[in-house]
Amino acid sequence: MDLTLILGPMKSGKSYELISFFAPLSYTNLKFGLYQSARNVRDSFVISRNGAKLNAKKIASLHEILDDDVEVVGIDEIHMFEEGDIKAIEEMLKKNIKVIISGLDTDYQGKLFNTIAKLMELAPKEIRYRRAVCDVCKSPEAIYTQVFAGDKVITSGMPSVIPDDGTYTYSVACRKCFVKGEN
Ligand SMILES: [Zn+2]
């Protein structure tokens, strides 16, 4: 059916928007499923910074969703999946499944994730770009996620999906405050 993308940096309320959409569905007759990457080792919920949360099924590949009997699919942190997985989204849309996806659009260098580029090729019905409050200048215009090792900004030499296991810390930055990758 149709595809909706909720994109933006960390701390921009993407997960909250996903939760807000899915929470009322439990009162309907619709068959729905909420999913997140098995690479997320922190929790088994889609969890928002304001405390709202919903149970999510952990999957290693988006193709696993095709085995489920669902009419509405939500996927959190899409950037944690592989580029090749996006084929599964195309299959879902052909099967008239409504798909709502949230995730980071750009990596630590400010570059578009390949997974997001592939999603754009599927012609989403709606893309909601969210912004956060810049951790540097406090403007409400943060669009990038900045990654640190200790107090050092990382601008190169990392995989685009950086593990969120506590090794690195993150902040969000606006266009003016973001330190961009070199290559
Ligand atoms: Zn700023």
Exposure string of 58-90, with b = 16+ CB inside 10 Å and e = fewer, is ebeebeebeeeebbbbbbbbbbbbeeebbebbe
Please state the rounded mean pLDDT for residues 81-90. 96
Q: Where are the domains of the chain?
A: 3-129
Q: pLDDT (tens digit, 9 = 90+) per residue, 122-150?
A: 999 999 999 999 999 999 999 999 999 98
Please state the rounded mean pLDDT for residues 144-171. 87
Query: Which residues, by Cβ under 5 Å, contact ligand 1, an ion?
Result: 134, 136-137, 174, 177
User: What is the 100 CA–ligand 1 centroid distance (Å)?
Assistant: 29
Provide the annotated active-site residues: 77
Please state the rounded mean pLDDT for residues 77-93. 95
User: What is the 63 CA–ligand 1 centroid distance (Å)?
Assistant: 39
pLDDT over threshold 70, residue 113: yes
Q: pLDDT (tens digit, 9 = 90+) per residue, 33-67?
A: 999 998 876 667 777 777 777 889 999 999 999 99
pLDDT of residue 183: 56
Q: Of 7, 13, 11, 48, whose CA–CA distance to 172 is shortest?
A: 11
CATH architecture group of domain 3-129: 3-Layer(aba) Sandwich (3.40)
d(CA 102, CA 112): 14
